[in-house]
Amino acid sequence: MSNQLFDAYFTAPAMREVFSDRGRLQGMLDFEAALARAEAGAGLVPHTAVVAIEAACQAERYDVRALADAIATAGNSAIPLVKALGKVIASGVPEAERYVHLGATSQDAMDTGLVLQLRAALELIEADLAKLSDTLAQQALQHADTPLVGRTWLQHATPVTLGMKLAGVLGALTRHRQRLQELRPRLLVLQFGGASGSLAALGSKAMPVAEALAEQLKLSLPEQPWHTQRDRLVEFASVLGLIAGSLGKFGRDISLLMQTEAGEVFEPSAPGKGGSSTMPHKRNPVGAAVLIGAATRVPGLLSTLFAAMPQEHERSLGLWHAEWETLPDICCLVSGALRQAQVIAEGMEVDAERMRRNLDLTQGLVLAEAVSIVLAQRLGRDRAHHLLEQCCQRAVAEQRHLRAVLGDEPQVSAELSAQELDRLLDPAHYLGQARVWVARAVAEHQRFTA
């Protein structure tokens, strides 16, 4: 397990376990054990050797610190691990040691081990996305008619609903879940090519072994080895980048709604959560910070993977190495953001009354469009717009509510009754298709989940 100080904040424990030192080693060892079984099926390895190899393929049997020191000289993690694996086997069944890693290369073990880790990571992410989507769907339905001010360019615009905002996040997550489902068969494939990708060392047994190895590991056999074709990994990372961005948007909006001046939606409270070391009154959006932090960090990591794609010939120098910590870091950051997003979505505290008061902060100006649209049908668009613009300016200058100014304006009162004005200046009557958008987003989520 990692001992990084910030792990508990930025990473979900289950994801850190997948990409722990033990997780990395076990992925490679699972490859080696499966390779022995596949080659035994092809008549290349005796059964006694398979038993010995499988028994030795347990990560806890190896000294991580010693392997780490050896990597500095070897240049990758598979070389010292295979060497250590051979020693463990030779100490018990000496004749089995010759069959370890037969026909494979270091990158076969490392890349396939990584794919096994990514399969576990993908399952965690998909499960978290499904849970978060369920929660957002419930909250969006609950608040489908909860009006709050829409904000464009950080200024008050026209009314929206909280459910509509949450449905926007839900829609993005549903698309990301679809993307992950679509890429799964491209990502979960075997890497097995031997020294330069031709599997020449296994002769006529190469394809039977490759097919059996893929079956053993429950992976697909790709059209050919992909030692320096890294699009599969970068595609997965790119979708994780999209997820991080959507969660960052969610966190950004929550943090803005939590601002003292807004005070409309809050992260759930808990003892010691969001406090300040010096200001007892503070309630900081500590969960949203993780979402925004991940959305800020992941693009830079993703750019590293893109930059590492033009790998040389059949085995890369340095570019492959740049991937080793980058992709796991992306997975860990997204896992932490998903965990915090679930906490926020599940326990968010909504102050509908504060939303209502904030809608009236501009004394009716946010509903000027509603009046203008109706008047345009009676006076013409340009005339109505100019008239409402003058009324809005007068309301601001005189610090009066727009309703009062409109009521005093003969050109308006000649067209609109007091009852019509009251209705037009009620935010609840100017929510447009907000409820429809919620229903559509939830329906799409349900169709994908079914």
pLDDT one-digit tens code per residue, 345-401: 999 999 999 999 999 999 999 999 999 999 999 999 999 999 999 999 999 999 999
Assess whether pLDDT exceeds 60 at residue 425: yes
Assess whether pLDDT exceeds 90 at residue 210: yes
Assess whether pLDDT exceeds 50 at residue 339: yes
Q: How far is CA 243 from CA 218, 303, 331, in A?
A: 27, 16, 11
Cα(122)–Cα(116) distance, integer angstroms = 10
Class assignment of domain 365-424? mainly alpha
pLDDT interval class at 280 (50, 70, 90): low
Share of the chain above pLDDT 70, in %: 96
Position 7 scores a pLDDT of 86
Assess whether pLDDT exceeds 70 at residue 1: no
377 by Cβ neighbours in 10 Å (0-12 / 13-18 / 19+) ranks as exposed
Position 8 scores a pLDDT of 86
Return the beta strands (E) in 284-431 as ranges.
Answer: 349-350
pLDDT interval class at 275 (50, 70, 90): low
The mean pLDDT value for 340-347 works out to 97
Position 6 scores a pLDDT of 84
For residues 236 and 118, the answer to whether their CB atoms sit within 8 Å is: yes
Share of the chain above pLDDT 90, in %: 93
**Which among 25, 33, 86 has a CA at the least distance from the CA of 59?**
25
Position 281 scores a pLDDT of 60
Position 271 scores a pLDDT of 64
Class assignment of domain 1-104+203-216? mainly alpha
Tokens of 375: 């008047």
The mean pLDDT value for 34-53 works out to 97
Q: Which residue has the higher pLDDT, 329 or 280?
A: 329
- Start-end ranges of CATH 1.10.40.30 in the chain? 365-424
Cα(208)–Cα(204) distance, integer angstroms = 8
- Start-end ranges of CATH 1.10.275.10 in the chain? 1-104+203-216
User: What average pLDDT does the chain have?
Assistant: 95
What CATH number is given for 106-189+226-359+434-450 in this structure?
1.20.200.10
What is the 8-class DSSP label of residue 269? P
Q: Give the global pTM.
A: 0.94
Position 272 scores a pLDDT of 60
Active-site positions read: 276, 315
Assess whether pLDDT exceeds 60 at residue 407: yes
**Which among 125, 361, 138 has a CA at the least distance from the CA of 261?**
361
Q: How many CA atoms lie within 13 A of 356 on its CB side?
A: 7
The mean pLDDT value for 147-153 works out to 96
Assess whether pLDDT exceeds 90 at residue 318: yes
pLDDT interval class at 269 (50, 70, 90): confident
Assess whether pLDDT exceeds 90 at residue 5: no
Assess whether pLDDT exceeds 70 at residue 282: no
- Start-end ranges of CATH 1.20.200.10 in the chain? 106-189+226-359+434-450
